[in-house]
Structure 1
Amino acid sequence: MWPLMLYEIAVSTVEGFERTINRYLRRWLGVSPSFTSIGLYGRTNQLQLPISSVVEEYKVAKARMVVTLKESSDDLIRMAGIETRTGRKWSASQAVSQAESILRHKDIVGTTTEGRQGLGMIKPQRWSTADKRERSQMVQKEIRASEEESRRARSVEMGGQLAWNKWTTTERKFTWADIWQYEPLRLKFLLRSVYDLLPSPTNLHRWGLVEDPSCSLCNKPGTMEHILSSCQTSLTQGRYRSRHDAVLRELADVLERERRKKRTAKKTASTKINFVKAGETTTKQAPRNTLILDESDQWEMKVDLGKKLVFPEIVQTTLRPDIVIWSTKHKKLVTIELTVPWESRCDMAYERQKAKYTDLLDQCSSRGWKTWLFPIEIGARGFPAQSLWRMLSALGIRGGERKRAVGRLGQAAEIASSWLWIKREEKSWQLTTGP
């Protein structure tokens, strides 16, 4: 980046460099030439690659140079009127001025929070109190945010490849270590499935390669969503059940390891009123969040693999949740229902499974049992929903252990879906078939 920052190179020339780089990157990743550059460089995508845009780095470097000259401690350099030329398409000085105006406006607006952040959770860095180095970093960060906002705006216009804008799952961030560990065909499947570039019947028909866009197993349009998630023939043959069981095995292994840990049942503190004399003060202790598995030292677990689960003898029911964890000694019951839906339908799957088991757990509660219900979703392409993170945290799996568990479950769904894709044209299917 040093020559691009130091010499007067127009931004259009750098864009030409990036177009050449993009061709080689697409070939290296195994995707088609129509693969959008937003998928390569986006920082807010559902699937984020560890690749930086040359144009973005060029603009950040030029902005850093403008700020360095502008904030120089040497009066001769600061007053020399040095102009950083970047061509007619983009001006570094104008971009820096715009970034500074935005940062000053943020000082006026004050602190804002996003998502589940509470008030006062973050301490923002204010432009008015920042030193020279901090201001330079703030301007660079604002330039990057502007580039990402431009990519985000363009992604909304591309409903085909960038349909992940409608997903409610959590994002996946790839590192270079992940890319080196992935098999080439597996990485190719993941990228092409996320951006809808697989040779499905509908895509082949749209590309002019086949005349019939129908599914090979039924007469419905053979979209990628249909093949991996909605084909009734595949559902009847047990293909989706095979993928579901593959993910369920990984989840059962994670929970079994946590269940076998030695723990002592924590006694619930009795509620009492502490009276304080006049003129005296007392310290109020914040209540501690008790993990579910810490409420008992004797847990049992059953998993519905091979349709063999029988609900514990609490109530009579024909329902079979995927995982049941219970303690007869302390009358605690945890019910987990796993779904591997299409990523855009995770919210619907959550509400459906929650309504399905609510009455059952109400019956258990009426008999003196303390119950928890966790419907969880892992997308067909390996993108977990937020419900999975909440369930693992509630059971006591947190930090790096939780991150690794989520990665295992996502990879299990992704591998099973790639196997379904490979076998998409086979008429017969056996439950023993799998990755």
Structure 2
Amino acid sequence: MANYQNIFTHLVIKFDEKNKQGKDIIDLVPISWTHDKDGQIYCKYPNKNEYHKINKMCKKSMICDPSWNDFKITVVKEAHSYEQGLRRMEKAFSDTVVQSSVEELVNSSEEEEGPQQFNKNDLKACLNDISEFGGSKINFMPESFDDDYNNSSQSEVYNSEELSNSDNCNSSSSSYSNEKRFFKKPKKKCQTSIIPPKKVAKHDIQKKSKIRQPEHYIVQPTTSNTIVTGKKIHNIQSKYCPTCGAAATESVTQANLESAKRSILYSIREEAKATRTLIATNSNTNLIEKIMQEENIVGLPALDLESFLDFEKQLKNDIELIKKIKCFMAINIKCSVKLSDNMTVVIPQIMSKSVQVMYSAFGRETNGIKKLNFSATETYKHLLEALTSKFSDLKHKEIASQLSRWFSGAKDREGGKKERLYKKIKMSETT
């Protein structure tokens, strides 16, 4: 252990105790958490209330607490850093036979064995010497192999490490869970397509000093919807659930069901809200028309500023007039879709153009002339209430912007623009 501490910082360990499913437990810990005891290696491991801190403590190589429990372990791999330890731990999970720990060291390729050359008979025997798969033995050598071998003008060699990986994956997989295997048993008997190991020519081996790392190869049943190209498997007809978005090939989880439930409930609430609004609008329209038929609003539109200010005073105290103005606005904005159209329909029927040009939306100056503040009036308060009830998703900022634009163009309405252009033409003719 002392030699380990001088060279390595982390260890990939396997606990002698197994989990509830009887599977091995592999983890990455700082080397300072391990110690010798009676010729066996033990590891100090955090308590359950500190499990959420394990990754952080392991990365920083924090000192273990004396109160932690001891567990008997077996060292699987050594690592020079936390990042290297993560990579080697993942490889220990995915590979049934753990590779040599010198695999990632500098100049490690000098200690590795070179590619091994096989003749036709040895290669055929090596590929066929594989355990049974799905009740039947897979023939890795097609019938045309003999013809292709005899017709080839240049001899080829296979990387022995690639062949041993595929053999070891079947022979010693009993020590790890079935979830980590590369080979999956097909549900139905079907023709299997094998992605063979990459071939390396002799002249390529002489040019390269380092041997590339072996790739994993997957036995995948061939169906009409699957295309196998290299290491990637493409599904032509991928189908997804329109509600939760899960792929059709994946099993449905509790999270998918909860997501689908929330989506359905949201749709139901929105449809119910729209239905209630439609019913309320129809019933309110009948009530509004009944109120408006009893008596019309007298004195509208206001032709001058004094008449409009008198109307404003009445709106503060007269409840019947408030009901009538609200009904009047609700009826007039019922058929308009755009916000600016609603203002164009309602405001001119309350105040004439001569009064409109005296106001701005928020009392700002226009061309150096101070204007009255329309947003401070009772009319604006009831108009804003009517607009927000119709456009529930509309923000007050957008209403204010449209109102400012509407009052800035008041002087050009009712023939004002033509009159202004006519005056400009007359002035240019006289000069």
- Give the TM-score normalised by structure 2: 0.22
Q: Which fold has the larger relative contact order, with Cα–Cα distance below 8 Å and residues 6 or more apart in sequence?
A: 1
Higher strand fraction (1 or 2): 2
